[in-house]
Each structure stands twice: as structure tokens, then as C-alpha cells.
Amino acid sequence: MIPISIQNWFIDAFNAIQEWFNQIINAVNGWLDQLADTFLTDDRYLWLLEGLENTLIITVGALLLGIALGTVISVVKYFAEDFKPLKPVSWLFSTYVTVIRGIPMTVLLLIVYYIIFADSNNGIMVGIIAFGLNSAAYISEIVRGGISAVDKGQMEAARSLGMSRLQGMRKVVFPQAIKNMLPAVGNEMIALLKETSVAGYVAVRDLTRAASQVRNITYDSVNPLAVTAITYLVIVLILTWLLSKFEKRLRKSDKG
């Protein structure tokens, strides 16, 4: 027979556990109610989805613009090294990179929105252009580094076979440079995604701005911000995973 005192102890412990359990269930229920109230009332989750869509549009658009412009900048600078007529253009591009890198992204965004495109209300387009201009400066440096890391003998071999500088760049140097550039471009892509969170300054409802709007209307700070932060994190994780897969595939062609 178990002594009474020990039986009582078990009953107390059981009650206490049941009490905690109820508290946890109540808390979860309360949280679910809060979530429903924050996101489902008035279909406010749609704001966040719209914000996510705009964030992705701006990021992808700016990235493409940045890669295109950044590649042009660095290739022109590369050719200008032995082709005198390109020198002024090269100098112009260098100044561009210096200026852009010295201006905070938010300020640049405001300049593009309120001064350059003062007549336009298309915040998304302004966002793509502003973030793209900014990215181009960084990507041009990445591309330049990637190109200059390719052995000089590669271009010489291409030229000795009769290829022009442009043909040698396209067929021989650039494909090798891409491999050098990829990790840095990946980082730039991730940085760009996160930088777009200031797009709200120019009346674009991006993910961050949408979360702020939900927060203002519901007085619920925790859930909108948590959802936003987790969303960015998940996108970054997906990008990282895609990049590492892509890099592995590129490396395979090297070793055969």
C-alpha cells in the first residue's frame, strides 16, 4: 500500500500539470484569436500578400537592372584599359560608382522619387529603378573582381586564335568570371531583398510597409512583425539553397 502522503503528492502534481496545460491551451487559443483578429478581419492578410508580391517584384526587377547595368559598367571599364576612346565613359562610370556607394539607399530612393521622377506616382517602378541603380554600383565591382580574377593568359589565348576582345570576353573570360562572381552576387541579392524594406518611404506597400499598416490598425505589434521577419528569413533561406545548388552545378563542368 502506498502511504497517503505520497498519494497526495501525486494528486497535487497531477493537478498542477493539468493547470499548466489549461493555461497553455488558453494562451494558444488567445493567440489564435489574436492572429485571426489581426490578419483575417477585413482580409488584412491580403495586404501582406500584396506587400510580399511588391517586395519580390522590386527585388527581382532591381536585381536584373543591377546585373545588366553593372555588367555594362565593368565590361566598359575593362575594355577602356587598352582602348583610349572609352576612357571618358569609363571615368564617368567610376564617378557613378563612387557617388552611389556614398549615398544611403533611403536617400537615393527619396531622390529618385521626389526629384527625378517627381511626376510619377508609380512607386514600384521608382523602387525598381532606385534599387537597381544602387545595386549596379555594387554588382559592377563584383563583376570587375570576377573578370580580373581570370588569368590574363585566357584572353591572350583567345586573341591568339583570332578572336576579338569582345568574342574572347563572351566565350572565354566571362563564363569563367561568372563562377568567381556567383557567391558575391548571391550576397548582393540577399542584401537587396532586405534593403527593399525601405520602399515604404515612397508609398509602395511592400512587405514591411504592409506589416506596419496592420500594426497601426490593430495595435498588435508582435504578430505582424514576427510574420514579416519570418517571411524575409524564409525567402533568404530559399535563395541561399538555390544558389548553392547552382554553384555546385557550375563547378561540376570544371572538373567533368
Partner 1 sequence: MIKVENLYKKFDKHNVLNGIDIEIKPGEVVCVIGPSGSGKSTFLRCLNLLENPTDGHIYFKGADLTDKNANINQLRQKMGMVFQQFNLFPHMTVLENMTVAPKMLLGLSKADAEARAMGLLERVGLADRAGSYPSQLSGGQKQRVAIVRALCMEPEVMLFDEPTSALDPEMVGEVLDVMKELAHANMTMVVVTHEMGFAREVGERIIFIDEGVIVEQGTPDEIFNNPQSERLKNFLAKVL
The minimum distance between CB 83 and partner 1, in angstroms, equals 12
Answer yes or no whether residue 37 interacts with partner 1 by CB under 8 A: no
Answer yes or no whether residue 153 interacts with partner 1 by CB under 8 A: yes
Answer yes or no whether residue 256 interacts with partner 1 by CB under 8 A: yes
Answer yes or no whether residue 88 interacts with partner 1 by CB under 8 A: no
Which CB, 107 or 157, lies closer to partner 1? 157
The minimum distance between CB 29 and partner 1, in angstroms, equals 59
Chain position carrying cell 529618385: 112
The minimum distance between CB 161 and partner 1, in angstroms, equals 4
Q: How far is CA 153 from the centre of its chain?
A: 36
Judge contact between 54 and 204, C-beta under 8 A. Answer: yes
What residue type is assigned to position 149 of the chain? A
Which CB, 19 or 151, lies closer to partner 1? 151
The minimum distance between CB 163 and partner 1, in angstroms, equals 6
Which CB, 44 or 179, lies closer to partner 1? 179
Query: Distance between CA 110 and CA 182 in Å, rounded?
Result: 30
Query: Distance between CA 140 and CA 146 in Å, rounded?
Result: 10
Chain position carrying cell 500594426: 215
Which CB, 179 or 215, lies closer to partner 1? 179
The minimum distance between CB 169 and partner 1, in angstroms, equals 13
Residue 44 has phi, psi (to 5 degrees) of: -65, -20
Query: Distance between CA 156 and CA 159 in Å, rounded?
Result: 5
Which CB, 42 or 156, lies closer to partner 1? 156
What secondary structure letter does DSSP report for 59?
Answer: H
Q: Per-residue contact track with partner 1, 154 to 193, x per CB under 8 A?
A: x-xxxxxxxxx--x---xx--xx--x--------------
The minimum distance between CB 218 and partner 1, in angstroms, equals 54
Distances in Å between the alpha carbon of 46 and those of 37, 52, 57, 59, 233? 14, 10, 16, 20, 20
Judge contact between 55 and 193, C-beta under 8 A. Answer: yes
Residues that bind partner 1 (CB under 8 A): 151, 153-154, 156-164, 167, 171-172, 175-176, 179, 253-256
